[in-house]
Amino acid sequence: MTRALPLLVFSDLDGTLLDHESYSFAPARPALAALAEIGAGVVLATSKTAAEVAPLRAALGLAGWPAIVENGAGLLAAGAEAGFDDSAYRAIRKTLRQLPQGFCAFDGFGDMSDAEVARVTGLPRAQAALARRREFSEPGRWTGTPAGLEKFLSSAGKAGLHARRGGRFLTFSHGQTKADQMAALIAQYTPRMTLALGDAPNDIEMLEAADRGVIIPNPHSRPLPRLPGEDSGRVRRAETPGPEGWNAAVLALVQDVKHNKEAPSDG
């Protein structure tokens, strides 16, 4: 009889598993090793493109697991190399260009060079080029007024685009979210428990959908509002930001799983 997957972890990257400034995951190595030891799965769930995620997933030792990319707008299959089909991306860009010009103070990655994306993200130039290899969504910065932004978002919504606000960028897609992809993967892998970790507003649905959620503090942005799951203790807040907080939170849950303190019963 096949052993049930004990735990499936869904983790944001920037500011969560990766340091906000250096993009290092080194402090999280002990927790990654502990997850591997108990046979847990780790699904990266990020705003990054498949082209960015594929080598990073390999470096993390997670190539055997799928990855949710571009804020849930797409999925990189387990073991797959990054393909490239930008037809959905080109459709999004076309719609944005057709919005009333008075609202258009939005600079998307498609409007920037590799050097400009490197500057606004802090990524090395080569990685910035991968960030521009988009297939499912368009991130960018709003440079207009708050009132203009609300009109822009309303106009985009009427045109069939969905907007998500992350730690640094406003991102447009055709509507799939991290939580949508998460639900499909849970149905596929049927884990005994799920854990989600994130630091930004676009992680809230994922945090609420998991059996356990951990909010990683982000000193570079406004704290997430109190979530309903915090009242029951199902959603908790890490004490430290980035991979340090991720490491501590995951190690604590792994210990609970090992001692069957929190794993749902088999009925």
Active-site positions read 12
218-224, Cβ contacts within 8 angstroms, sequence gap of 24 or more: 218/15, 218/20, 218/167, 219/20, 220/15, 220/20, 220/167, 221/167, 224/199, 224/200
Q: Compute the distance between CA of residue 12 and CA of residue 68 in angstroms, rounded to an integer.
A: 9
> Among residues 181, 196, 192, which one has the least CA distance to residue 42?
196
Phi, psi values for residue 258, rounded to 5°: -60, -35
Q: Compute the distance between CA of residue 117 and CA of residue 133 in angstroms, rounded to an integer.
A: 12
Name the DSSP class of 41: E
- Cβ–Cβ under 8 Å, residues 118 and 124: yes
Please give the distance of CA 116 from its chain centroid, rounded to a whole number.
22
Q: Which two tokens stand for residue 235?
A: 């959603």
> Among residues 56, 73, 62, which one has the least CA distance to residue 124?
56
Q: Compute the distance between CA of residue 225 and CA of residue 26 in angstroms, rounded to an integer.
A: 29
